[in-house]
Structure 1
Amino acid sequence: MKNLHLINNEKITKDMIKLFDEAANDGDINIYVIFDRKINYGNDYSVYPHVLFTEDLGDLFHQYVYDNVIIHSLDIKKVSFFETHIKYKTNIIWLLWGGEIYNRPEYGYNKLYGRETLRLLLASAPLKEISKFVLNRFRANIGRMGKIKSFAKKVNVIGTTLHEDYLTAKKIFKIDPEFKEFNFYTLNSVGHEVEPNIMSIKPMQIILGNSGDPSNNHCEIMSLISNSTEELSVISPLSYGQFSYISKIIKKGKSILNHRFKPLTSFMDYRDYVELLHSVQVGVFGFRRQQGLGNVVYLIYLGKTVYLDPINPMYNFFIENGIAVRSLDSLKKRKSIFLINEEEAKQNRIEVFNLFARERCILLTSKLFI
């Protein structure tokens, strides 16, 4: 079976290559075409002869017939590449990352953000945000958005972790492909030998969000935890995102939380970031969409307490799978941040490992082609 992967050059790209190569049967061939050579996060693909960059291809792909084309996150670059290079009918598998649906006009401009975040966005870039709001109703079926929507009708399979994301994609694109569970993140890739680490230290170490993207709803979270009776140290990763928004969030954080707010504005090495996750006690995430799943899964596996917005489909996903996560709504009612107990932490570790163990992820990957 010959499989062509169209994938962006992201932090998880090398892990995806390793996962699909491990899941391949004898005789299967995986070829990876990577977009954006410059954005590499330190990735070195020189040891992979089956990895190519779009600018190196020329007319190479016109002559080949592929059994499957796997599109890792559906965007206009991959749609255009497919229509230019793939000349024969093939099975199309869309691995849904999240942004393809949540950033669509049909999803709704206001659904991702709380009121305070919306106000900050308008203050940061008023013309951009107002034009986005006004034009969104017209963008869904024209230009790039329209081209992606038209292409989505060719998709045979959607693979993703959350079934709710699949249902959202079906609704937005008015399509009915097959659903197959797929995990982008495997716990074994970070080492399953680590032990749960339930710490009771002061100040309580909290990680707020995973980036400087407004979908983290930093303002709302800072307001929620500002009245906490505990002594806190709030670490917020802000190394990438919208600069104008990030600068205002830093000012806001210092205003609301004072010395307790610790912004991280430099990109961290992967190992350093993993150490950071080990050092915190609590993760508080204001996402209203599936986002930062790898961070959340690993924190749960380490025995940390995780707070999620109940609007977020990740919240129900964990609850339905017997994993104890806390609701942000509880922070509105109390002035204390309640840590999970040892029994909950141990059970969380078992359940989340059962879901994201590498052996299971390899099995799910192999089933994409059945």
Structure 2
Amino acid sequence: MRTENLVFLPDSPYTEWIINRSEDLFSGLNKYLVVVEDISKPTRFTNSEILVVENGDLENSPIVSELSDFKRIIVNYHTPFIGHFLMRRQSELSHAKLIWIIWSGDLYKHPSFLSKAYTSRTMAVLPPEKMVETWGKSVHHRILQALGKPNKYSFEKSFSKFDFVATIFEKDVMEAESVLGLKAKWIRFAFLSLEEMFSEEYLKNKPVLGDKIMVGHSGSPENNHLDVYHQIHHLLPSNEMTILSPLSYGNPTYIEAVKSMGEEYFEDKFETLEDFIPREFYYQKLAEASVAIFNHKIQQAFGNILGLIFMGVKVFLNPENPVYIELTSHNIKVFDYSKMTQDDLLNPLSAEDVDNNRAIISLLFKEEKIRDYYRDLYIA
């Protein structure tokens, strides 16, 4: 059987899930290439048959000799290295359809989104020049361009070469069109079904929730924790509710600033989660919250948000976030963070709203729906 699709993937906990689902639908038609920063480091997947290539070694990978055989090039998480590779290999790929699956960071790390992604408190901790490592200084990239090496100019130009863009968030597509010159056809797409996210027990029964307030999902600056802490401190000056913030990965400087303010404002009522834990135990930890606040102005943490809503947690989102726009368009009950009140924080989501949210999410992200998304992607 002839291989039809070359699928680029990052080193992610989702990598094997994506491969397994793709093979379940189109077995033997795909080749997978995981692009990593350092090939000597352990990967976050266990399948030893997956081809792994270091960022700077794409041109020397065995896949180069096969490029003209592929009908589709599917890019999960676009990077400057992949963009440069695609631009240099346009002649071999002229017959292939190029498909970009947006993962958030590959879109919103562009400097044009600095003013959109971060609040003033976040920017005070991490000035703009510390947030755009992917791009760096123009002079440096002009030199790289002259040397024929990956650079931001070839990366930016590569976005216009995609024929299709896959995401569930229409605003992401609009932003990519506006900022990056994307001219691709939009394919609605989501990675995971509820059955993949939750155990059968969680799917059938609503968990008993705690009374903590969860803020953010990681130590990345896009969470804009500091504004949320300030707002909670203002609304609940004698707070008796524990503030829980997962900080298992992110920017070290930013994480220290988050911990410093959290400890100052909430003292012994401030709790962080700084170690990676198995998914089952992670959801058990999330169930300790009755309220969750995500101050992302860009699309991020969708899996966490969806999981919390399905469990019955009252979720507040920044109204600029594509996730807020998407969920409210389906009448899922989430709340506008900019209008958050003391009563909002103290009162959990009603039983009726919990049941309605679970019913809508069950329809939108059921197994059959996700299979259809993958099928549409691979026949584009």
Q: Is TM-score (shorter-chain normalized) higher than 0.5?
A: yes
Counterpart residue type for residue 63 of structure 1? E
1:315 & 1:80 partners in 2: Cα distance? 33
| Residue of structure 2 equivalent to 1:54 | 53
| 1:8-65 CA distance string (max 9 Å, x none) | 11121111112222232x7x5111101124565642012xx4x211259743431351
Does 1:110 pair with 2:112?
Answer: no
| 1:320-359 CA distance string (max 9 Å, x none) | 1110001112325757443210110011001112111222
Structure-2 change in CA distance of 1:39 and 1:16 (3 Å): farther
TM-score by length of 1: 0.87
Map 1:146-295 → 2, pairs under 5 A: 146-191=153-198, 193=200, 194=202, 195-197=205-207, 199=209, 201=210, 204-226=211-233, 227-228=235-236, 231-295=240-304
Does 1:35 pair with 2:41?
Answer: no
Aligned match for 1:45, one of 47, 50, 75: 47
1:131 & 1:73 partners in 2: Cα distance? 16
For these two proteins, the number of residue pairs brought into alignment is 357
Q: Give the gaps of 5 or more residues in structure 1.
A: none
Deviation of 1:259 after TM superposition, in Å, equals: 1.2
Runs of 4 or more above 3 Å deviation: 37-42, 55-61, 80-86, 126-136, 332-338
Counterpart residue type for residue 281 of structure 1? S
| Residue of structure 2 equivalent to 1:18 | 20
Q: Give the gaps of 5 or more residues in structure 2.
A: none
| Residue of structure 1 equivalent to 2:66 | 63
Structure-2 change in CA distance of 1:348 and 1:240 (3 Å): same
Does 1:79 pair with 2:72?
Answer: no
Deviation of 1:299 after TM superposition, in Å, equals: 0.7
| Residue of structure 2 equivalent to 1:357 | 366
Deviation of 1:150 after TM superposition, in Å, equals: 1.0
Structure-2 change in CA distance of 1:135 and 1:150 (3 Å): same
Structure-2 change in CA distance of 1:139 and 1:185 (3 Å): farther
Deviation of 1:154 after TM superposition, in Å, equals: 1.2
Partner-residue secondary structure (3-state), 1:10:
coil
Partner-residue secondary structure (3-state), 1:236:
strand
1:61 & 1:73 partners in 2: Cα distance? 20
Counterpart residue type for residue 103 of structure 1? K
Counterpart residue type for residue 93 of structure 1? I
- The CA RMSD measured in Å over matched residues stands at 2.9
Deviation of 1:134 after TM superposition, in Å, equals: 11
| Residue of structure 2 equivalent to 1:99 | 105
2:156 & 2:343 partners in 1: Cα distance? 44
| Residue of structure 2 equivalent to 1:3 | 5
- Counting aligned pairs with the same residue, the percent is 22
1:231 & 1:237 partners in 2: Cα distance? 19
| 1:251-308 CA distance string (max 9 Å, x none) | 1110011111112222223332122123322211111111000000111111111111
Partner-residue secondary structure (3-state), 2:362:
helix
Partner-residue secondary structure (3-state), 2:51:
strand
Structure-2 change in CA distance of 1:176 and 1:363 (3 Å): same
Aligned match for 2:350, one of 341, 344, 363: 341
Partner-residue secondary structure (3-state), 1:267:
coil
Structure-2 change in CA distance of 1:59 and 1:11 (3 Å): closer
